[in-house]
């Protein structure tokens, strides 16, 4: 875990990744189902995953349409119905959430802590995430790579997210991601970075007061903190 020493009153806003933090990683069974839908030869899951990941960055950045992405994966154009089925199965793999993480975020949000979602995600998945109850309940804003035309760890992505928090000083903003390279890029901009390794207690430690009766007020933190 890569982090800096924080107290609850040292964080005026949160920028948080989706997949691998809020969202659960797809299971092998899900990947196998997608490979079956794609009619992948001999059910060779490793080669199918490689084929999916190779153009994924461009897909997430909005450079490839759904058709262009799946054409690159399959090596040929799928028909309209097949394309819709592939897209739906792919999206379904990425929308499961970790309720332990959401519970911590709900408690932190109750303190009026601004939260910005920052995710590498294609257009369709972005729209699905935006329509979820937890996104509308918890996030003051949400930025997706397909809409920005950029993926983490591009520096400009973090600049957009910092602006969305409304906090001028990056040292007062905590960035959380499950990838070390994304955290490193955030730290280079001056954000505080927590490399999330699947332990909700790490989030709780950084976002919630140790004293359960304490109430964290970001505006009070800005007045009282000295950095």
Computed over every residue of the chain, the mean pLDDT equals 90
Average pLDDT rounded to a whole number, residues 119-148: 98
Give the range of the structural domain holding residue 164, as residue numbers without chain letter.
8-24+96-224
Chain position carrying tokens 């059910």: 43
Domains: count for the chain: 2
Q: Are residues 164 and 81 in the same domain?
A: no
Residues 36 and 12 in one domain: no
Q: Is the domain of 63 the same as that of 137?
A: no
What are the tens digits of pLDDT across the range 162-187? Answer: 999 999 999 999 999 999 999 999 99
| Lowest mean pLDDT segment, chosen from 33-42, 110-119, 198-207, 215-224 | 215-224
How far apart CA 30 and CA 32 sit, in angstroms, is: 5
Residue 121 has pLDDT above 60, yes or no: yes
> Do 70 and 106 share a domain, yes or no?
no
Residue 1 lies in a domain: no
Neighbours of 116 (CB within 10 A): 23
Report if residue 194 sits inside a domain: yes
Residues listed for the chain = 227
Whether residue 114 sits in one domain with residue 179:
yes
Domain closes at, from 93, 116, 143: 93
176 and 146 in one domain? Answer: yes
Query: Please, is 30 exposed, middle or buried when counting C-beta atoms within 10 Å of its C-beta (0-12, 13-18, 19+)?
Result: middle
């Amino acid at each position: 875990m890569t982090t800096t020493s924080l107290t609850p009153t040292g964080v005026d806003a949160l920028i948080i990744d989706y997949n691998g933090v809020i969202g659960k990683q797809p299971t092998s069974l899900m990947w196998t189902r997608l490979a079956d839908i794609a009619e992948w030869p001999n059910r060779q899951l490793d080669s199918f995953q490689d084929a999916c990941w190779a153009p994924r960055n461009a897909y997430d950045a909005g450079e490839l349409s759904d058709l262009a992405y799946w054409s690159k994966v399959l090596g040929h154009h799928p028909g309209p119905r097949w394309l819709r089925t592939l897209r739906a199965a792919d999206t379904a793999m990425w929308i499961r959430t970790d309720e332990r993480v959401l519970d911590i975020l709900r408690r932190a949000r109750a303190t009026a802590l601004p939260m910005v979602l920052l995710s590498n995600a294609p257009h369709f998945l972005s729209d699905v995430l935006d329509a979820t109850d937890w996104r509308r309940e918890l996030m003051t804003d949400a930025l997706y790579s397909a809409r920005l035309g950029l993926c983490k760890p591009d520096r400009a992505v973090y600049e957009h997210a910092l602006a969305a928090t409304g906090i001028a000083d990056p040292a007062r903003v905590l960035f959380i991601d499950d990838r070390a390279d994304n955290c490193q890029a955030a730290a280079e901009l001056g954000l505080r970075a927590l490399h999330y390794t699947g332990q909700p207690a790490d989030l709780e430690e950084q976002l919630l007061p140790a004293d359960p009766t304490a109430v964290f007020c970001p505006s009070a933190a800005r007045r009282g903190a000295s950095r």
